[in-house]
Chain A
Amino acid sequence: MLHVAVARRAFRRYSTYRAATVAGIFTNSVFGIIYSFAYLALWRQNPDAGGYDAADAVTYVWLGQALLMTVALWGGGTTDDLAERIRNGDVAIDLYRPVGLVGWYLAGDLGRALYHFLTRGLAPTVIGIVLFDISLPPSPTAALGFLLSIPLAVTVSFALRFLVASTAFWLLDATGARILSGALALFFSGMALPLVLFPGWLGTLAEALPFSAMIQVPNDIWLGRHTGLELGSALAFQAGWALALLATCGLVLRLATRKVVVQGG
């Protein structure tokens, strides 16, 4: 299986950056601690904000830290390689191969995500459990649902990052688009603040956008806020966005080869 081999290779490749992993775990933990105290202060004022209790809120913080790098919310996935290869023209080589570009980079990104989940996901969570009162999934179903929702979250994030990287076909460099999308992702994924705290139509909008599939949805599944049929529809929400966005990636790629130059001779 080619895509399994690609995923395994990506896993191995990222695992060679040990120092970066350790530094990342440290950073995630520090931010986890800071945010936890901030949230605890907030929930002391308003003990039922967004329907979360204080334990839920702190749990939400640490899950966010665990997922941040796993889904590569701000980049750092294989889509960074893609953007660079479009910029310097090496993408031509990818296109010469009898393999779809989207599937190729997705497989690599899932391999990377697994590595980041096992290191930058698990390690800060353990630290969070030791230092704070974190609630575990209330049922085996919730735990299983959470595990299922992660690859979906990664796929949604991947597809969004792929689209951002693809702008390099037209803009020659994807940096600007990446900064913009990073800001949107920070806000609308629920990373900065749980979307349940957003008022009115802004909350409704935020929960409907694909960004919420990256952090808010997996976190709510862990917290047991989606049960039964609702758990199914939460996963379907992620899967739906994943499929729609992947299809868009394929479309954009076709457009790129039709309209633009692959850079460099």
Chain B
Amino acid sequence: MPLIDVAGLERTFVVRRRAGFMRRSKSVVRAVQDLTFSIEAGEMVGYIGPNGAGKSTTIKMLTGILVPTSGELRVAGLEPSRQRTDLARRIGVVFGQRTTLWWDLPLRDSFELLQKIYRVPDQRFRENLDRFVELLDLGDQLDTPVRQLSLGQRMRGDITAALLHDPEILYLDEPTIGLDVVSKGRLREFLRALNAERGTTLLLTTHDLQDIEALCDRVIVIDHGTSVYDGTLAGLHAQGGSTRTLVVDLVDTGPPIDVPGAEVRKVEGPRQWLSFPADASAAPLVAAVASAYDVADLSIQEPDIEDVIRELYSHGA
């Protein structure tokens, strides 16, 4: 059985608007509708979509703090909204824009309070804390009150806080928002290692597509409350009709290269740009070019995932 199983999930909100003096109009907003997907243990899944697509609403239902209007929902064999407390012991949640730490407490005290909340055995707690503090380089901050931490330090503190009880599933909501490039890189590396070593399932919502490219084999794209794509990152390229580019440096300037399966987009002296479908293999193309022309150098440019997703959103709209 999949770790997370969602079938035909729907959540509606009734929105009342002022429609004149003392008059109110009621309208029903479908934040999530007919959403179906399942995630196996150990997967790292990117959950992406434009603002207001229903990402947070989904996460709130998956964690049990929001009750679905209809549909099936199982996480780790539990029904989240009914068994919220049991489920909470088995999941970790990290928000980029909120903190689970206590502002007025030193980091260490926050962790100790969380140990009590999740009833983590002393031995396990110390092991985990030592490990995460070392990996996330938090040793010098343990006695600093949270309000004095930098954003990057606070984020690492929050990640540690979410993992002290060995959750099977870690939900990350914009974990890298506002972080600098070095911090982002370190965080991604840590998450990859976490998944590899402990098999923690990650569900990541983000607007930073580099997070997805660095971490997720699978992406679910949601728009207007429903899934518009679910599959590999490579497949997303194919679906979006995106192309890769083969950049060929010929020994001499010559006419546009003519090989099957690719077309020349641009010629600039001896350098030529050939585009070919993103899901096609580059190997036969490279072989064909190399056998017919005198090639000095070759390189391949991957398509920009942001373009692909932008394309997908605009189709959905």
Q: Which residues of A contact B (CB under 8 A)?
A: 1-2, 5-6, 9, 13, 16, 89-90, 92-93, 95-100, 257-258, 261-262, 265
Do B117 and A9 have beta carbons less than 8 Å apart? no
Interface status of B37 (Cβ within 8 A of chain A): no
**Complex contacts, A9 vs chain B, CB 8 Å:** 102, 105, 109, 113
CB distance from B47 to the nearest CB of A (A): 13
Q: Can you list 24 residue pairs at the A/B interface with Cβ under 8 Å?
A: A2-B113, A2-B116, A5-B112, A5-B116, A13-B104, A16-B104, A90-B98, A92-B65, A93-B99, A93-B100, A96-B93, A97-B88, A98-B88, A98-B118, A99-B117, A100-B85, A257-B81, A262-B60, A262-B65, A262-B66, A265-B51, A265-B55, A265-B56, A265-B173
Residues in B whose Cβ lies below 8 Å from that of A95: 65, 84
On whether A257 and B67 interact (CB within 8 A), knowing A5-B116, A97-B88, A98-B88, the answer reads yes
B-side contacts of A16, CB under 8 Å? 104
Q: Which residues of B contact A262 (CB under 8 A)?
A: 60, 65-66
Do residues A2 and B117 form an inter-chain contact, with CB atoms below 8 A? yes
A96 to B171: give the CA distance in the assembly, Å: 11
B88: chain A residues at CB < 8 Å are 96-98
* A97 & B117 in contact (Cβ 8 Å cutoff): yes
> How far does the alpha carbon of A9 sit from the alpha carbon of B104 in the complex, in Å?
10
CB <8 Å contact, A93 and B117: no
Interface flags, B65-101, vs A, CB<8A=1, else 0: 1110000000000000100111011010101001110
CB of B13 closer than 8 Å to a CB of A = yes
Q: Give the chain B neighbours of A92 by CB distance below 8 A.
A: 60, 65, 95, 98
**A93→B66 contact, CB < 8 A:** no
| Interface flags, B99-127, vs A, CB<8A=1, else 0 | 11010110001001100111000000000
* Minimum Cβ distance to chain B for residue A161 (Å): 21
Given contacts A93-B100, A262-B60, contact A257 B65 (CB under 8 A): yes
- Contact check, B65 vs A98: say whether CB atoms are below 8 A apart: no
Instruction: Give the CA-CA distance A262 to B56 in the complex, in Å.
Output: 10
Interface centre among B81, B95, B113 (most CB of A within 10 A): B95
Q: Nearest CB to that of A5 among chain B residues? A: B116
Chain B residues near A98: list those with CB within 8 A.
Answer: 85-86, 88-89, 117-118
CA distance in complex: A97, B63 (Å): 10
Of all chain A residues, the one with the shortest Cβ separation from B165 is A98
Top 7 closest pairs, chain A to chain B, by CB = A98-B88, A265-B56, A2-B116, A95-B65, A98-B85, A258-B67, A98-B89
Q: Known contacts A9-B105, A261-B13; is A93 also within 8 Å of B113 by CB? A: no
- Nearest opposing residue in chain A for B158, CB measure: A93
Other A-B pairs, 9, CB within 8 Å; known A89-B98, A98-B86, A261-B66:
A2-B116, A16-B104, A96-B93, A97-B88, A98-B88, A98-B117, A98-B118, A257-B81, A265-B51
**Which residues on B sit within 8 Å (CB–CB) of A261?**
13, 66
Q: What residue of chain A has the Cβ atom nearest to residue B173's Cβ?
A: A265
**Which B-chain residue is minimally distant from A1 (CB atoms)?**
B116
From B65, B99, B102, A96 is in contact (CB under 8 Å) with B65
A92: shortest Cβ distance to chain B, in Å? Answer: 6
Nearest chain B CB to A141 CB, angstrom units: 37
CA gap between A105 and B173 in the complex, in Å: 26
Q: Once the chains are docked, how many angstroms separate the CA of A93 from the CA of B63?
A: 11
Residue of A whose beta carbon sits closest to that of B171: A96
Chain A residues with Cβ under 8 A from B13's Cβ? Answer: 261
- B86 near A93 with CB under 8 A, answer no
Shortest distance between the CB of B111 and any CB in chain A (Å): 12
Q: How far is the CA of A97 from the CA of B165 in the complex (A)?
A: 11
Could you say which residues of chain A place their CB within 8 Å of the CB of B98?
89-90, 92-93
Q: How distant is the Cα of A90 from the Cα of B101 in the complex, in angstroms?
A: 11
CB neighbours of B95 from chain A (8 A):
92-93
CB distance from A258 to the nearest CB of B (A): 5
B237 to chain A, nearest CB (A): 28
Distance in angstroms between the alpha carbons of A216 and B65 in the assembled complex? 39
Residues of A close to B60: CB separation below 8 A: 92, 262
The CA-CA distance from A5 to B13 in the complex, in Å, is 38
Q: How far is the CB of B151 from chain A (nearest CB, A)?
A: 17
Determine the chain B residues whose CB is within 8 A of the CB of A93 once the complex forms: 93, 95, 98-100
| Chain B minimum-CB-distance residue to A95 | B65
Q: How far is the CA of A257 from the CA of B69 in the complex (A)?
A: 12
Using CB atoms, name the residue of chain A closest to B116. A2
Chain A residue contacts of B91, Cβ below 8 A: 96
Give the distance in Å from the alpha carbon of A95 to the alpha carbon of B95 in the complex. 14
A2 to B115, CA, bound (A): 9
CB closest residue in chain B, given A4: B116
Which residue of chain A has its CB nearest to the CB of B92? A96
CB neighbours (8 Å) of A90 from chain B are 98
Q: What 1/0 flags go to B36-55 for Cβ under 8 Å of A?
A: 00000000000000010001
